[in-house]
């Protein structure tokens, strides 16, 4: 995939697409940038929870527990959600 950059962030590893954070691995959890429009719906999915890195929920981002990404189809679904949102954003320099 073009324009992908790995970057250390939030004590883990984030994957940036065209300069925008998309997904990351923090400990055993997947961090997914889903956007504010589908944030509430994303939280209803199994093993998803608020991204509360600072103690306050960061709207538009969710953590997915490792049980929610064990199956390839589940991991792909979350990655696709992150990619779909980041595709709506302009590239950053």
Q: Which phi and psi (to 5°) does residue 81 adopt?
A: -65, -45
Q: What is the pTM of this model?
A: 0.91
Q: Which pair of tokens denotes residue 79?
A: 């990655």
- Segments of the chain scoring below 50 in pLDDT: none
> Is 42 part of a structural domain of the chain?
yes
The answer to whether 57 and 50 are in contact (CB under 8 A) is yes
Residue numbers of the domain that contains 57: 4-86
The predicted structure's pLDDT at residue 81? 97
Q: Which pair of tokens denotes residue 73?
A: 């189809």
> Is 21 part of a structural domain of the chain?
yes
CATH of the domain at 44: 3.90.1150.30
> Is 92 part of a structural domain of the chain?
no
Number of domains in the chain: 1
Taken as a whole, the chain contains a residue count of: 93
The predicted structure's pLDDT at residue 68? 97
> Is 50 part of a structural domain of the chain?
yes
**DSSP assignment of 25-50:** EETTEEEEE--SSSHHHHHTSTTEEE
> Is 43 part of a structural domain of the chain?
yes
The answer to whether 64 and 48 are in contact (CB under 8 A) is yes
């Amino acid at each position: 995939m073009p324009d992908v950059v790995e970057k250390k962030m939030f004590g883990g590893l984030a994957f940036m697409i065209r300069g925008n954070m998309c997904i990351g691995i923090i400990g055993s959890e997947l961090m997914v940038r889903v956007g504010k429009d589908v944030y509430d719906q994303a939280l209803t999915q199994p093993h998803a929870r608020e991204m509360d890195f600072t103690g306050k929920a960061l709207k538009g981002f969710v953590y997915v527990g490792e049980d929610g990404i064990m199956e390839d189809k589940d991991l792909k679904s979350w990655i696709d959600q992150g990619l779909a949102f980041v595709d709506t954003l302009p590239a950053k320099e």
